[in-house]
Copies of this chain bind each other. A is one copy, B any other.
Amino acid sequence: MQQAIAEHVPSGAMVLLGSQLEQMIPFSAGHELIRQGRRDLTLVGPISDILFDQMIGAGCVSRVMAAWVGNVSAGLGHCLRRAVEQNIPRAVQMVDYSNFTLALGLHAGAMGVPFMPTYSTMGSDLLKKNGNLREFPSPVNEEKLIAVRALRPDVAVIHAQRADAQGNTHLWGNLGVAVDGARASRKVIVVAEEIVAPEIISSDPNRTLIPGFLVSAVVHEPWGAHPSPVQGYYGRDHAYFSQYHEQSRKLEDFEAWLKRWVLGVADRRAYVEQLGACRSESLGVKEHAYSAPADFGF
């Protein structure tokens, strides 16, 4: 992970994180960005369940292009509020989207066109304030529509269940904006719970959502998404989200939290050790539920 982040994500980069919403959030990548002291990042994502809040609190971020930033089960993001309301630790510019319009921006990028049309955001102040949303007359009828400008992040970090060494990636569960996000981005870092043989991937080509030729780096990082869930690998650590909510309310508490869980740990392995065996055991899969096979034979 250190190497992938060092090579592919410079300060000032536009980075897509959290493409699968509350599932498979690449916390380990975000924490490595904090440890490597990145600055002036533009964070892109539909919703962010505390990772953006942590990176904002750590001072890595100068701009956020998102639909929702906070703590999904607990509420507000305290670091976001401090940054936007009091410029602590630094000012952050908010470019407010809705989930759909953010997804359409990435879809336009993935399809190689300058925009996508929609009816959403009409009459809202998102439309008034976000320069990447613009009203225009439909070229095929009398309606007016909203053009969502294409988004092309510099890097997308996608957490997935499994990938092969070339980066051909199997992803399942709710996909959010991961597929378009990977294609729209100039580089893709895949963080996988498991690295598998190419034969596993090609045994089910319909589950390959990111072809390897789009991928710049593949990182094998078990538990890399904790405290968010990875279907089939571990559940959501609800208590961790509530604890973060309390421990980020005051600035000094957040700084202590950051030292304890990010700056004070060398890498994900150390993080998982600190989490403790019984915590990770309690989050592990209790009952497997395997997909019915599909036959690709002839």
Question: Which residues of A are interface residues toward B (Cβ below 8 A)?
Answer: 112-119, 134, 136, 138-141, 143, 145, 147, 149-150, 161, 170, 172-173, 175, 196, 200, 203-204, 206-207, 229, 231-235, 285-298
Contacts and interface: CB of A to CB of B under 8 A. Distances in A.
Copies of this subunit: 2
Contacts of A206: 172-173, 175, 207, 291
Contact of A113 (B145, B175, B286, B287): B145
At the interface, is chain A mostly helix, strand, loop or mixed? loop
Given A134-B140, A206-B172, A232 B287 contact: no
Contact of A293 (B118, B293, B296): B293
Contacts of A298: 229, 231-232, 234-235, 285-287, 289
A297 B293 contact: no
B115 A138 contact: yes
B288 A291 contact: no
Nearest to A161: B294
Contacts of A113: 117-119, 145
A143 B292 CA distance: 47
A291 B289 contact: no
B285 A290 contact: no
